Amino acid sequence: MAEASAQKIELEYSIQEEVPINQPIGNIVQHPVLFNYVQGLATRDLRFSFLAEGNPQASYISINETSGDLKTASRIDRETLCRRQVTCELRVQTAVQADLSSFFMLVLVKIVILDINDNAPAFASNVFSLRIPESEGAGATYLLPTATDPDTGVGNSIIAYNTVETGAPFTLLVSGSSAASFEIRMRLDDSLDREVTPSYQVLVRALDGGEPRLTGTLTVNVEIADVNDNAPVFERRRYSANVSEGNPVDTVVVTVRAADQDVGPNGTVTYVMLPTQDDLDVFSMFAINNVTGEIRTLAPLDKYAGRTYSLSIQAQDSGPTPKADQTYVDISVLDTRNSPPNILLHVLRTAGKTSQVSELAELGRVVAYFSVSDPDPKTSPNSVVTCSTDSDQFELQAMDQNQYKVILSKRLDREQAAYHSVSVTCFDAGSPPLNATANFLVEVQDENDNAPVFDSLFYTADVSEGPVNADNSIILRVHASDNDVGINSQITYKLADRSDNDFGINGEGDLYVSRARGLDREDKVKGPRRELTVMAIDGGNPALTGIATVVVTVRDVNDNPPKFSEPVYYFNVPENSQSGRIVNNLSATDDDADMNAIFYFKMLPSYKHKMPFEVGLDGNIRVSGDLDRERQANYDFQVIVYDLGEPPLTSTVTVHVKVTDVNDNAPVFMFPNDDNYTLHIPHTLGANTVFANIIATDKDEGRNGALVYSLEGGNGSRFFDIVSDSGKVLLTRPLSVSDVGIHVLNVMAHDLGYHNQESTQAVLHIHVFEGNATLAHLEGGIGFRNILVVIILIVVTLVLALIILMTIILIRRVDRQRRLYHAKQEETKADTSVRHFYPCQVQDVESPSGVSDDNDDFKECSKKKKEVSFSLDEDNNINQTPTMTTFSPVVSDKYDPLVEADRDKLK
């Protein structure tokens, strides 16, 4: 087989430090990179060997000559092998050749040594002493030495400091963010008193971030002393110096100076170099004169050319309680033999010297290619070149050694930056490093990636309702802008399809009313607030759209009169209501707004002085005059409502007010009265016989006008009584001849109103005269016979009896409705014809018991039951002439005690 290409091949492996000897690392034949070259060969014919001559790193690993297995050959301590290096590698050149054929190739085996947390943080000394004067105030700080940790793996180095609680009045202050930059100070938190506490001990711990976590402890012994209250102060907080790689040993590089305001030993300053986390090798390279502050070289620097070292210098006075200050010195070892790199740049897709790239280009898009070379010898560090760019949109990507392509690393946005200036700088490894720079321009080409944006997302406008014309149809102009350019930024305006069809918009963004009849603010569906969606559409493909909202408020015009809530109003108000009392309230609505919707009420002027009412502006109807239902019970008038628009609009409504009754009238007697107060009856009148009606009137209505009668004494109350609801006067027990004479009844009447009104007392005189006893006996003895006769007559003449019965019922109904009887009293002479009266009882609907139908006196009684006036006489042979009294018609009725008892309960 032909000899393999001599192309450089690297095989990378990784192991942790401190693994056992003979720990397998890997097999180089199985490495995918080498496998591509040896596939097809018989692996058993391959032989492997290290080119270990002059390479001490080859002693740490071994390789099996036939299998290619890699193993550890000795203990690997990363901190010994790669002290203070971030990356630790074993690099061994390895020969791969065929046992029989001519196949041969070199591969570089690179083994990365991974750090483990096998070293605890350690202070240069486990004990640190401080002397602090007792006069020191709270807040003073004291610099403490930092710890070092040989481990450099992620998380294995020092990450924090803290203190163990001992009760000492100190707080640990830690500054810096990494192990190399930590600075720890101890702050005094309280005042000191040496006589009370002469010393303190503070335990400071340094913690790494490994697993398990390891710590180192520094014991700080604090001695409280007097005096020395000023610490040395460096002239600078940081010094910088350069030294040539060819300078001889003991060359003064820089001098640091610190001043102490104290005198004597307290002001004598000495200098010392402190160990730092960065590099402990500086103690073999530089030294400081502890008196003068001169920093000198201790060894040749040619192998350190191009590197910079940082020294931590402490200045401490010689007082009994030394105070110290710290500064840093950065020393750069200069490479005195160095040439700058050369850059050959090729800009892709150019227009002149400008690369054109779409703003939608994907990340990784190549915009330029360049190669770099350095004329310095290849063996010199000065020939090692690194390149970078300061652009935040582009980055470099290595292709081969010293060959790069410039690619897009962040999205482009033409609207933010239309051009990008890209600068590529390459530095060599010399000291100071030399560089070369190449520049080119990237033009970002526009894409339609921006939608139009309105000046405002929310517009408002006002327009009056009513007709419009060309002069007043435009409401407002909207405007949108597009950050794109060319056709992508050309905008047209439209209203969304769902928007109000009362409006339109033109190409300039003018929003106008599209209907000649205009807008109606009172439109029940659309209302006074119209919300429109306006679209701005650019000319890109595909087109992008911006949206804004326009709220149009339709201003009111007084085109709607106020309307009453009812077509007619009906109200009630009690009579005798005081002036100012509110009867009720009128209400109205007006579909307009603002002043056009404010309205007031008033009574039409033609009614104003005719009504006992007034109408307020607020619609309240109030009593303004006297109300007497008995004089006038109903009032009708008209009210007008008018708005405050210009011109004002009105509506009219009719109001009916009914004056309701109040019990303000007392009953008045019609009988008896001052002119007519006497009744004449014979002593033969039967018990429970109604012989008269008391009549009174009340101008009120309802219960206020319903009357109840009663007797309020008089010497006739033992013989007579009155039916409370009807006023009927009846004889309660039989009379005798000894009862002949004048009997007086005091009669009262009151209504059934809530506050009842009583009449004045009326006096009724009942004259009992001696009547015909024989006739009275007959009336009591033949009653049963008369009833039989009546029954026979009813059976025989059924039709006639029904007619008579209906007539009687009709007469009774009429009599009950007519309560008022105007009696005319007339006295007749004794020589006039005397008509006989036979009392009629309630149950004597037919003839009285014991009296035949052909008895003239009985017939006369029956005939006179409904007559207005009558005379009482004992018989036809009586010659006396009694005084006759005229009273209201009476339907004779028997007195029923049970009925009267119920009536008394009602009273």
Helix axes 773-781, 783-796, angle to 10 degrees: 60
pLDDT tops 80 at residue 721: yes
Identify the domain boundary among 397, 422, 445. Answer: 445
Please check whether residue 3 lies inside any domain of the structure. Answer: no
Give the residue ranges of DSSP H helices in 279-401: 282-285
Give the residue ranges of DSSP H helices in 95-157: none
**Given this model, what pLDDT does residue 434 score?**
84
Please check whether residue 2 lies inside any domain of the structure. Answer: no
Q: Are residues 419 and 492 in the same domain?
A: no
Instruction: State pLDDT tens for residues 782-804.
Output: 344 445 555 676 777 788 888 88
Q: Are residues 630 and 608 in the same domain?
A: yes
Closest among 286, 341, 346, 350 to 312, alpha carbons compared: 286
Q: What is the CATH number of the domain that holds 28?
A: 2.60.40.60
pLDDT tops 60 at residue 702: yes
Please check whether residue 774 lies inside any domain of the structure. Answer: yes
pLDDT tops 90 at residue 656: yes
pLDDT tops 70 at residue 844: no
Cα gap 106→10, rounded to integer Å: 9
Tell me, rounded to whole angstroms, the distance of Cα 236 from its chain centroid: 59
**Given this model, what pLDDT does residue 336 score?**
67
pLDDT tops 70 at residue 377: no
Q: Are residues 436 and 475 in the same domain?
A: no
Identify the domain boundary among 192, 225, 258. Answer: 225
**Given this model, what pLDDT does residue 885 score?**
38
Alpha carbon distances (Å) from 508 to 145, 448, 474, 499, 500? 76, 22, 12, 19, 19
Residue of 496 and 277 predicted with greater confidence: 496
Please check whether residue 894 lies inside any domain of the structure. Answer: yes
pLDDT tops 60 at residue 112: yes
DSSP string computed for 169-222: SEEEEEE-SSTTT-EEEEEE-S---TTT--EEEEEEEEEE-SSS--EEEEEEEE
Cα gap 608→601, rounded to integer Å: 13
Q: Are residues 778 and 857 in the same domain?
A: yes
* CA R_g for the chain: 67
Q: Are residues 259 and 354 in the same domain?
A: no
Q: Are residues 201 and 151 in the same domain?
A: yes
Q: Are residues 527 and 628 in the same domain?
A: no
Lowest mean pLDDT among 234-243, 533-542, 862-871: 862-871
Average pLDDT over residues 423-441: 87
By the 8 A CB rule, do 73 and 62 touch?
yes
By the 8 A CB rule, do 196 and 227 touch?
no
Please check whether residue 87 lies inside any domain of the structure. Answer: yes
pLDDT tops 90 at residue 51: no
Return the amino acid letter for 443.
Answer: E
Please check whether residue 247 lies inside any domain of the structure. Answer: yes
Q: Are residues 103 and 204 in the same domain?
A: no
* β-sheet bridge partners, residue 481: 453
Instruction: State pLDDT tens for residues 6-48.
Output: 457 899 999 988 899 999 999 988 888 888 888 777 777 888 8
Instruction: State pLDDT tens for residues 445-469.
Output: 888 888 999 999 999 999 888 888 7
**pTM tops 0.75, yes or no:** no
Q: How many domains does the chain have?
A: 7
**Given this model, what pLDDT does residue 664 score?**
86
By the 8 A CB rule, do 867 and 794 touch?
no
Give the number of residues written for the chain. Answer: 907
Please check whether residue 285 lies inside any domain of the structure. Answer: yes
Please check whether residue 772 lies inside any domain of the structure. Answer: yes
**Given this model, what pLDDT does residue 790 score?**
57
Instruction: State pLDDT tens for residues 552-609.
Output: 999 889 889 999 999 999 999 999 999 999 999 999 999 888 899 999 999 999 998 9
Q: Are residues 614 and 683 in the same domain?
A: no
Q: Are residues 42 and 152 in the same domain?
A: no
**Given this model, what pLDDT does residue 819 score?**
54
Identify the domain containing residue 462 by its residue range.
Answer: 453-555
Which letter does DSSP use for residue 490 in this model?
Answer: -
pLDDT tops 60 at residue 822: no
Identify the domain boundary among 607, 636, 660. Answer: 660
Cα gap 271→249, rounded to integer Å: 21
Q: Are residues 626 and 710 in the same domain?
A: no
**Given this model, what pLDDT does residue 282 score?**
83
pLDDT tops 50 at residue 5: no
Instruction: State pLDDT tens for residues 605-648.
Output: 999 899 999 999 999 999 999 999 989 999 999 999 999 999 99
Q: Are residues 46 and 91 in the same domain?
A: yes
Closest among 849, 728, 839, 830 to 784, alpha carbons compared: 849
Instruction: State pLDDT tens for residues 151-167.
Output: 776 677 777 888 888 88
Instruction: State pLDDT tens for residues 171-217.
Output: 999 988 777 778 999 999 998 887 788 899 999 998 888 888 888 89
pLDDT tops 60 at residue 846: no
Cα gap 733→744, rounded to integer Å: 16
